[in-house]
Amino acid sequence: MMAEIFKVAIVGSGPAGSSAAARAAKLGMSHILIERQDHISDTIFKYQKGKFVMATPDFLPLRSDLNFQAGKREEILDVWDNGLEDCKVNVKFDTEVTSIKKEKNFTITYADGKTCEAENVILSIGLQGNINKLPCEGAELPLVQYQLDDPEEYEAETIVIIGAGDAAIENAVALSKQNTVIIVNRRAEFARAKQGNLSLISEAIEKGNVEAYYEASPVKVEKDSITLKTADGEARVPCNRIIARLGASAPRRFVESCGVDFPDKEELKKDPKKRPDPRVLPEVSAQYESNVPGLFIIGALGGYPLIKQAMNQGYEVVEYIGGNKIPPADEPLLVEKFSVLNNQNVDDVLETIRKNIPIFEKLNTLLLREAILESNVHAFKKDDTIFKRNDYSNTFYTIYVGEVGILVDPNDPSQVVTLNQGNFFGEMGLISGRRRAATVKAISDCIVFETPRRTMLKLIQSVESVKDNLDKVSMLRQIQTHLTPGVDASDLQELIETAEIENFSAGDVIFNQGDEGDHMHLIRSGSCTVSVKVGGKDIVLSYVPSGNYIGEMALLSDQPRSATVKAAHNTQTIRLTGKAFKDVLKKNSSIKNSVEKKFKERINQNEKMEGQPEAGNIIQFLIEQGVGEGTDVLLIDETLCIHCDNCEKACAETHGGLSRLNREAGPSYASIHVPTSCRHCEHPHCMADCPPDAIHRAPDGEVFIDDSCIGCGNCERNCPYGVIQLAAPPPERFNLFSWLLFNKGPPPGDLRKSTDYKNKKKKDENQIKQAVKCDMCKDIEGGASCVRACPTGAAARVSPEEFMSITSLTS
């Protein structure tokens, strides 16, 4: 008998998939919802017990047959379970899809070899990926598990752990307390893991708490043993349990196997060594359809990580498949946004944007809608200031109608560069993560779109034309601003054409001492250290932040490089060829003079620093602590610090009882202590992956988290400096005397040190937690309270650029 051909097959039962299935069921469309697990929404299912799930963005209406509002994980899953049952959704649990092939219809193959057919497929598999299974016989036997919830559960067992990553090591060490543990590493050493885990496992092996097999791989699993292939031949290891921690394979490979293209495909083909960027998402149409007709991609995999967005998409995509081209749920929001444009029709405005603004030209409707939805539309009157030089904002502006002027010289307001319709500005702050380089004013009445940093970064990553367009224009502007002020673009043509953008990670060498110097670099974002080798030891001479050039010395003197330049953290430079640059100098004597002046200054500086290796060591130490990428760093002078912790108390007292700074933690060198406290990075790591976009930069540079935080913990994990914590909202506090006399509220100071709070915390483990971090007391008059509360002047907030300057270090 011919199996039924479904109108739509939905792969993955997260919020997007479930909502799509519910809609299909409601419409009476033949459908199947396929889920790998025995329950829906595995990602949410795996949240910690009682976790509070938020329903952001608040402004977006929910459009789904399943209900969803902020609440506890259990309640939400219950509502969806019941909703799916009420709608009579056809769910197939415990079924993993291994391939999706399109001929006339789609053939979907399951792991057990069975198949089904469907006219349309909705991929809503999220980004979690598949857990890698043991690559050998017996991988499904009951003694094999791929996860470990609670190591305390097991006692007096012999457990074999396969893998050498962080998860494997953490499991091995935790289990070794009550069990005999054997860890199997495919390689000769543990190199993939974090430093802390490396020392843990080395210590455990050294002490004999964990036995290790190196260069070994599993061959066969039987019901009470595992056979390993080792350098000395095969070995059979009897055991009670096998835990395989082999990581997960990103869904990308599977998605590609379905025929879906990713925008960076060509780039990866050119450079096969490059690993695909997990943030790059497949391209889809306004109806979420991929390049494979009939294959739709929604939810996190389509670039929409928020539950509500995903659910709306599930609804819309099924409506579309059913032949009803409904406007997206965000239509009214766009109508409102465009109200300043005399209420023009939304589609018309989007079309005009695409036609008139080149950087948005190649965006598909979905991305453009999203970008504009997240942008602000401003109508400026003639002579209005749009932003000021030294403002700390990093949004990106495009001109819809009218003209704006950039005041390039802060000392001479008459020097104005005019930009007209279709141009963009504000890209320098976006790229460098630093303060605005110039003031921008409206020259005529104009309408501009202000697009947030995050939206732009997403576009740059996923749409090549946006990146190319931005790079080309910004390169010229950066060279004009930082290297050749006053030189006309036409005179820079050769320089621009031969210039290239290069990327460096922390510690990468940009050039080495002794290299031939046929090019130079202009630092676009990030920063570098300059060092020389003296007697086999590197001596750091200086710290060079973005907006400066390096490598001009060898170029001008026709000598080999006199120093090594390394990236202090992630750094992007514009590489300029020597010949083209020299030609520019030949034609412009004033530029030549200023470059030569800088050249002489640097020689003097380097000589001075070579005589003071300690100052260089301090720079090196601060760079190693990541201070180089900060904009405002708390440094404590240990010759002055009396360990009174008044800084922590002040922080706690001004932030609801929880100090966001740990004075004692953190390394020190030469009496400079870098406490665990936010540095307000140029490109904040915490901002990189915040689903509700709750992390912002205030006009004065403070990076802060607003109330829309959903407590997902991404920022806490992404911060390399450990300065973000997830905390329950603090209890109400009363004044000192109410506490003293009537025991009202918690005691003064840091609540974490009070037992009352600890007990309460245990009891309320299920309550909502939000991320908290230093906000540099942006709402408190007078500035950072930690610094203001220091009685001895030991605590200071400094800008790395100033602190690591030669004058500061050698004075």
Partner 1 sequence: MHESLLIYKKFKYLKLTLTTVILCIVLYLYHSPIGSPNGGTWLGYTLGTLAALIMFWLAWFGARKRSYNKSKGNLEEWASAHVYLGLALVVISTLHSGFQFGLNIHTILYFLMMIVIISGIIGVYFYLKFPSLITKNRNGLTTEMMLTQITEIDEDIRELSMSLDDFTVDLMTKAIEETVIGKSFIIKLKGVDPDCHTSLARKHLREKKFSGNNKIREQLLSKLTRKEKILDQLRNDLKMRSLLQIWLYIHVPFTFAALAALIIHIFSVFYYW
The residues of the shown chain that bind partner 1, judged by CB under 8 A, are 207, 635, 637-644, 646, 649-650, 653-654, 664-665, 667-668, 671, 736, 748, 780-782, 785, 787-794, 796, 798, 802-803, 808
What is the per-residue burial (b if ≥16 Cβ within 10 Å, else e) of 444-477? eebbbbbbbbbbbbbbbbbbeebbebbbebbbbb
Task: Give min distance, CB of 700 to partner 1, in A.
Answer: 17
What is the per-residue burial (b if ≥16 Cβ within 10 Å, else e) of 297-335? bbbbbbbbbbbbbbbbbbbbbbbbbbeeeeebbbeebbe
Task: Give min distance, CB of 207 to partner 1, in A.
Answer: 8
Task: Give min distance, CB of 782 to partner 1, in A.
Answer: 4
Q: Kindly tell me which of 474 and 625 has the beta carbon lying closer to partner 1.
A: 625
Q: Kindly tell me which of 259 and 783 has the beta carbon lying closer to partner 1.
A: 783
Q: Kindly tell me which of 603 and 642 has the beta carbon lying closer to partner 1.
A: 642
Task: Give min distance, CB of 631 to partner 1, in A.
Answer: 15
CA distance 212 to 110: 36
CB atoms under 10 Å from CB of 777, counted, come to 19
Q: Kindly tell me which of 250 and 644 has the beta carbon lying closer to partner 1.
A: 644
Task: Give min distance, CB of 801 to partner 1, in A.
Answer: 12
Q: Kindly tell me which of 194 and 643 has the beta carbon lying closer to partner 1.
A: 643
Q: Kindly tell me which of 585 and 644 has the beta carbon lying closer to partner 1.
A: 644
Residues linked to residue 52 through DSSP beta bridges, in sequence order: 72
Task: Give min distance, CB of 649 to partner 1, in A.
Answer: 7
Q: Are 119 and 8 a contacting pair, CB within 8 Å?
A: yes
Rounded to 10 degrees, what is the CA torsion of 678, 704, 425, 378?
Answer: -170
Q: Kindly tell me which of 342 and 811 has the beta carbon lying closer to partner 1.
A: 811
Sequence-distant (≥ 6) Cβ neighbours of residue 523 within 8 angstroms: 544, 545, 546, 547, 548, 549, 550, 571, 572, 573
φ, ψ of residue 243 to 5 degrees: the values are -115, 115
Task: Give min distance, CB of 424 to partner 1, in A.
Answer: 37
Helices of type H across 87-133: none
Task: Give min distance, CB of 796 to partner 1, in A.
Answer: 5
Q: β-strands 210-213, 180-184: how paired?
A: parallel
Task: Give min distance, CB of 168 to partner 1, in A.
Answer: 23
CA distance 23 to 324: 12
**How far out from the chain centre does Cα 263 lie?**
19
Task: Give min distance, CB of 808 to partner 1, in A.
Answer: 7
Q: Kindly tell me which of 493 and 671 has the beta carbon lying closer to partner 1.
A: 671
Rounded to 10 degrees, what is the CA torsion of 643, 649, 655, 656?
Answer: 140
Residues linked to residue 544 through DSSP beta bridges, in sequence order: 528
Task: Give min distance, CB of 775 to partner 1, in A.
Answer: 15
Residue 282, helix vs strand vs coil: coil
Q: Are 299 and 313 a contacting pair, CB within 8 Å?
A: yes
Q: Kindly tell me which of 561 and 797 has the beta carbon lying closer to partner 1.
A: 797
Q: Kindly tell me which of 410 and 793 has the beta carbon lying closer to partner 1.
A: 793
Q: Kindly tell me which of 197 and 785 has the beta carbon lying closer to partner 1.
A: 785
Q: What does the chain come to in residues?
A: 811
CA distance 658 to 127: 34
Task: Give min distance, CB of 229 to partner 1, in A.
Answer: 34
Q: Are 724 and 677 a contacting pair, CB within 8 Å?
A: no
CA distances from 332 to 286, 306, 353 (A): 16, 19, 18
Q: In sequence order, what E strands does 479-610 have?
A: 500-504, 509-511, 519-525, 527-534, 537-545, 549-550, 564-567, 571-577
Q: Kindly tell me which of 201 and 794 has the beta carbon lying closer to partner 1.
A: 794
Helices of type H across 655-804: 714-718, 736-742, 755-763, 785-788, 800-803
Task: Give min distance, CB of 49 to partner 1, in A.
Answer: 30
Q: For residue 145, give the nearest of 212, 243, 45 by alpha carbon.
A: 243
What would the two tokens of residue 626 be? 């990541």
Q: Kindly tell me which of 167 and 789 has the beta carbon lying closer to partner 1.
A: 789
Q: Kindly tell me which of 726 and 780 has the beta carbon lying closer to partner 1.
A: 780
CA distance 685 to 800: 17
Task: Give min distance, CB of 48 to partner 1, in A.
Answer: 26
Q: Kindly tell me which of 382 and 758 has the beta carbon lying closer to partner 1.
A: 758
CA distances from 573 to 209, 351, 393, 792, 804 (A): 48, 35, 22, 41, 21
Task: Give min distance, CB of 652 to partner 1, in A.
Answer: 8
CA distance 116 to 107: 6
